[in-house]
Amino acid sequence: MHVGDSVDQAQTSGDVKRRKAKRRHRRERQIMVFGVIIIAVGAVAFAASAIYRGEVEGPFSAEFNSPAPDLAEIDLVCPPAGADPVPTDQIVVRINNGAGTQGLAGSVSQTLEGRGFVTVGAVNWSRSYDGTVQILFGEEGVAHAYTLARQFEDAELVLDNRGDITLDLILGEEFAASPALREPLAPELDTSLPLTADGECRPAGLVVAQPAPRTLPENPLAEASPEPESDEG
C-alpha cells in the first residue's frame, strides 16, 4: 500500500466522523427544541382545561367597568321625576349682586320681572362670587330652582336648609363680564320640556344642605289667602 493511499483513507475517516458528530449535535438540538415546544403546549393545554372547568379564572374574566362616582361628592339635587317647569309667576326670587358691578342686580331683576318672575329685592351679596350664576334653594323649591336655572346658560344649583320655595339668585363676576341670560324664545325655555339635571344628581334627602342666609327673602305668595266666603240665607 502506498503512503498516499493511507493518508487519503485517514482523511476520509476523519470527515466521516465529523459529519456523524454534526448530525448527532443537530438531532440533540432538535430534540431539545421540540421538547420545549411540547412542554409549553402541554402547559397551555392544562391551563385551558383548568379555566374551562372553572378551577381558575381566565385573564379576561374581570369585568371592564368605569369607576362608579363617589356618592359623597355628588351635591347636585335631582329635579322631581318627570316634573314640568313651574309657572314663572309662582317663583319668588331675590337677586344678589356678587360681582361688585353697580346696577347688575337691578338690571337682571327687571328682566326677570318682565318674564313673569316674582322678584323680591335686588341687593348686594355679602361676599364676592367669581362664578357665573348660583341659585340657592330649599327642598320645597327644587323645581322652582331648576326652572329659574333654565333662564341662564350656566347656573350652579346649591341646596340650603331654608324651609320654603323662595330662591336666592347670585350673579357672579363671570356673569358681569359676559351675561349668560338666554333669549326669551330660546329652545331651552320651552315649557313643554320636563326638568332635567345636567350631571350626576341625588334626591334632596341624600344631599347635605348648606346653611341658608341669615335673612331670607319674603314670600308674598305665602301671604296671600283666599277671601272668606259670606254666608247667604
Lowest mean pLDDT among 84-88, 136-140, 220-224: 220-224
pLDDT average, residue stretch 69-96: 90
pLDDT of residue 45: 73
pLDDT at 229 > cutoff 90 = no
Query: Exposure pattern of 53-62 as b/e (b: 16+ CB <10 Å)?
Result: eeeeeeeeee
∠ CA 104-87-136, rounded to 5°? 50
Would you place residue 7 in the very low, low, confident or very high pLDDT band (cuts 50, 70, 90)? very low
pLDDT at 118 > cutoff 50 = yes
The torsion angles phi and psi of 201, rounded to 5 degrees, stand at -140, 170
- Sorted by sequence, the CB contacts under 8 Å of residue 208 that are 6+ apart come out as 75
pLDDT of residue 62: 47
pLDDT in tens, 27-57: 777 777 677 788 877 777 776 666 666 565 5
pLDDT average, residue stretch 113-121: 97
* pTM, rounded to two decimals: 0.67
Q: Cα–Cα distance between 157 and 159 in angstroms, integer?
A: 7
pLDDT of residue 9: 56
Copy the grid coordinates of residue 227: 277671601
pLDDT at 227 > cutoff 70 = no
Q: Cα–Cα distance between 29 and 35 in angstroms, integer?
A: 10
pLDDT of residue 162: 97
DSSP class of 140: G
pLDDT at 233 > cutoff 90 = no
pLDDT in tens, 207-216: 999 999 999 9
pLDDT in tens, 147-204: 999 999 999 999 999 999 999 999 999 999 999 999 999 999 999 999 999 999 999 9
Copy the grid coordinates of residue 71: 356618592
- Sorted by sequence, the CB contacts under 8 Å of residue 35 that are 6+ apart come out as none
Lowest mean pLDDT among 19-33, 71-85, 122-136: 19-33
The torsion angles phi and psi of 228, rounded to 5 degrees, stand at -65, 140
The torsion angles phi and psi of 68, rounded to 5 degrees, stand at -70, 145
Lowest mean pLDDT among 55-64, 70-79, 154-163: 55-64
| Cα 198 to chain centroid, rounded | 9
Sequence ranges of the domains in the chain:
1-65, 71-221
- In the sheet with 118-124, reading across from the earlier edge strand, the strands are 118-124, 92-97, 167-171, 133-137, 156-159
Alpha-helical (H) ranges within 77-214 are 104-114, 142-149, 173-177
**Percentage above 70 pLDDT, the chain:** 73
Of 135 and 63, the structure prediction assigns the larger pLDDT to 135
Q: Cα–Cα distance between 152 and 189 in angstroms, integer?
A: 10
